[in-house]
Amino acid sequence: MTSRKKSSKSFTTSRLTMLPKEIMSLEYIREAYGVTAKIGAIVIVDGVYGAITGSRMSYLRIRLNGRKKSGFYHPTWKIQYITEDELIMPAVK
């Protein structure tokens, strides 16, 4: 049996650990694909409403209505981003 020498290099100063990965990924997605993705935004994915709950690398994490868990979707694959102006708000009495 051979013993492996552990590396003394620390990767904690990597650029990727300076900010939460979700923030960096969403920022990258907005710039690279020209979309308005942000956490909490309402979207329609292939005809089903959902909300953006995060991201991983260049994919959006979206929880669709009626589902317990979020799934990963490409930012331009059958996704319609709903703006606040397009939301139908109930009338206040």
* Sign of the dihedral defined by the CA atoms of residues 36, 58, 23, 65, in that order: positive
Q: Residue 50 — φ and ψ, nearest 5°?
A: -165, 180
Residue 83 is encoded by which pair of tokens? Answer: 């703006």
Closest CA to 24 of 43, 39, 40: 39
- Report pLDDT digits (tens) over 32-41: 999 999 999 9
pLDDT reported for residue 83: 84
Closest CA to 25 of 60, 63, 70, 1: 60
Does CATH number 2.30.30 belong to domain 19-83?
yes
- Report pLDDT digits (tens) over 50-73: 999 999 888 999 999 999 999 999
Token pair 């935004």 is found at: 41
Residue boundaries of the structural domains of the chain: 19-83
pTM: 0.69
